[in-house]
Amino acid sequence: MKQSILVFLCLAALAACTFATVGSIAKCDCLRLTDTVLRPRRIQGFHEQKKDGRCPVDAVVFTTIKGKKVCSDPTKIWVKEAIKKLGKPGGEKKKGKARKQNRKKNICMRQK
């Protein structure tokens, strides 16, 4: 009886460690940085990644309008300028979508 409880506790501890490890790896988007320079109009949003035990690099993770993630060096000048234009981390650019919607409305109004 004591052995079965001990085996159960060991398996539960092993499962908890496995799930904790998988969860922490999934939170790290960038393992290395890229030299790709993005145009601000192609960026939908961004968030920052800090170097710690899980993530090997500091990075700014840009999400493009096509949904791709690009890992950029936060010390680069173009990255700093893009962050200023976009605003807070995690926020998405809203002006571009509004402009496109306004263009569609204007085209429809002209046709009438």
- Cite the beta strand spans of 12-107 per DSSP E: 43-49, 59-64, 69-72
Looking at the domain assignment, is residue 61 inside a domain? yes
> Could you tell me if residue 109 is inside a domain?
no
Q: Is residue 83 part of a domain?
A: yes
Amino acid in position 3:
Q
**In-domain check, residue 103:** no
**How many structural domains comprise the chain?**
1
Beta carbons of 48 and 30 less than 8 angstroms apart: no
**Which amino acid belongs to residue 19?**
F
Is 24 contained in some domain? Answer: yes
The neighbour count for residue 47, using CB atoms within 10 Å, is 15
CB count in 10 Å sphere of residue 111? 6
CATH classification at residue 54: 2.40.50.40
Range of the domain at 7: 2-93
Q: Residue 99: inside a domain, yes or no?
A: no
Per-residue pLDDT at 3: 73
CA 10/CA 16 separation, integer angstroms: 10
Q: What is the pLDDT along the chain (112 residues), one digit of tens a residue?
A: 667 766 666 566 666 655 544 444 447 899 999 999 999 899 999 999 999 888 999 999 999 999 999 999 999 999 999 999 888 766 555 555 544 555 555 455 555 4
For residue 100, tell me if it sits in a domain: no
pLDDT of residue 91: 55
